[in-house]
Structure formats: structure tokens, C-alpha cells
Structure 1
């Protein structure tokens, strides 16, 4: 993991403690035709997460989700199936709201998963539901379990 990304993350957390910003993020339970889920490992953390990121000012949730999927894992034509849940997080001193979507890859894209933004994404892989890596973040594991159980989530991240 890149040392400079860890340092940038620390500076960001200090800034967030001082400013307490309200942020909106989007993430995807992105599935391929074999019902494997896409997970990413960022350059600034050791855990695996659902792909996604922040919504920019003036950007819709859908536009942000599609942009993040293309930027992080090079998926260009995903099909959004539904909203899985809306969550709130106070981690890192932010007032963060995260919208989770169920998304499928477009035709022929299952093999196209790759680390599209090498400065942010260390690794991107497909995983069967029953073989998630041990270092999957707890919140990511909860979102995947909710998807598998047909639940709509709401509440704390």
C-alpha cells in the first residue's frame, strides 16, 4: 500500500474532524453473469470494499455510480436493478450518507473487471458469495448479506 495515500488519508481525517462535512456516497453490489460480486482494495487501506465513491456537487446518484464503476473497475454499461439501502455513517468525523445499489454487468463485461484507476485501486476481483476474502470490511460484508437475504437496508453503516 502506498505510503503517500496513507498520509493523505490522515490529513483528510484531520480536516474532517475540524469541518465535519456532510457527504453523499454511492456503492454497488456489482454482480457478473455468474453471480460473483466485485470487490476492490484501495491503495490507502487493507480491506476489500464494494466499488463506489463520492457524489460530486451537481451530480445525480446514478451518474456518480456509473462514473465510479467506470473509474474503479472499468465497467461501462452496467444495469442498475434497484436501490438496496440508504445508510448513515459518522466514521472519520463526517456526516456521511451512503446509497447502495444492486447492479449487474452489461453483456460481455464479466471478464472486463480491472483496476481502472491505479492511483486509487490496488486490486479488483470477482468473488463468489461464499468465498469473500477474510479482509472484507465489516460494513461490506453486512451489505452483501442483506443483498443475499433480499433485505432493504436502512440505518447505520
Structure 2
């Protein structure tokens, strides 16, 4: 799976496609914030992924949250919109917050997610990706000061 991810990144660098993505901050008063670790890259991330053809940003956020975490967002609010060229593509990312959700038993069929876990706000993992760390700091301050991912 890692070789495929590298191949796709090289393609993006050559073609510079326009992509749409979502990330979701799932919070729980008792448990903290939900993060995922993927099978093909290192670090802990916010759940999320790409927006499919004909899908709204909010629908994509709900689908990705279900696919990656087995969670149903009962409430979803848009936090901020970002732009990124980090992976060689022109990527627009919508950041959502899900403060109410229903967690269902995962069947383990998603080959992309190695692990998902809630972390308390004062014990976030060291392997948190830089972008995820920035988004969580902005969310806690309720100040989204940049439009760049």
C-alpha cells in the first residue's frame, strides 16, 4: 500500500490536479479528541479524506467518519476552509467539528486505518502530524488564522 501512495504523489506533482478533501475534529467531553493512524503513512491524523464526485463537503465528512471510524456524526459544523499544495496537488480542505456522534463497532474492513483512538487534550500523541497539531490548536483557541493547511 505504501508504494501506491508514493506513486500517486509523483503523479500529483506532474499533473497538479485539483482535489477536494475533508477533515473532522470529533470531540467528546470525557474522552478528548478522536485521531486515526493510517496504514500507509506515519503519524496520527484527524479522520477524513477526499470528496467524491457529486458529493458535498458535509456528506464527504459524514462518509469518511463512518468509513474510517464507524462513527455517525449527529451534528456537524464547518470550522474553516483551507488550501494546500503540500503533496504536489491543489487541495481544498474543509475542516468540520462533530461534537455529537454515535460510535458503532468497527468491522476492521477499512484497510487504510491501522488504529483509531481518543486522546485527552493534555495527552496528545508525540506522533501527531504538524498539520493536525496546528488544526487542533486553532480549534481550541477558536481562531483560524490561516487559510493554508
What is the TM-score with the length of structure 2 in the denominator?
0.92
Task: Determine which of 60, 63, 70 is the counterpart of 2:59.
Answer: 63
The number of equivalent residue pairs is: 149
Matched, 1:22 2:18: yes
Deviations 1:86-119 (A, max 9, x none): 111111210011110111233xx35x47575431
Matched, 1:11 2:7: yes
Task: Determine which of 84, 90, 115 is the counterpart of 1:89.
Answer: 84
Q: In structure 2, do the counterparts of structure 1 residues 52 and 125 end up closer, same or farther at CA, with 3 Å as the change threshold? A: same
> How far apart, in 2, do the equivalents of 1:135 and 1:144 lie?
14
Give the number of the structure whose residues are more often helix, by fraction: 1
Deviations 1:44-80 (A, max 9, x none): 0111000011001110011100000000000024311
Matched, 1:137 2:129: yes
Matched, 1:128 2:120: yes
Task: Determine which of 110, 124, 142 is the counterpart of 1:150.
Answer: 142
Q: In structure 2, do the counterparts of structure 1 residues 19 and 91 end up closer, same or farther at CA, with 3 Å as the change threshold? A: same
Give the number of the structure whose residues are more often strand, by fraction: 2
Q: Comparing 129-138 with 115-124, which one deviates more in the overlay?
A: 115-124
> How far apart, in 2, do the equivalents of 1:41 and 1:113 lie?
17
> What secondary structure, in the 3-state scheme, does the structure 1 residue paired with 2:71 have?
coil
What is the TM-score with the length of structure 1 in the denominator?
0.87
Q: Comparing 26-35 with 56-65, which one deviates more in the overlay?
A: 26-35
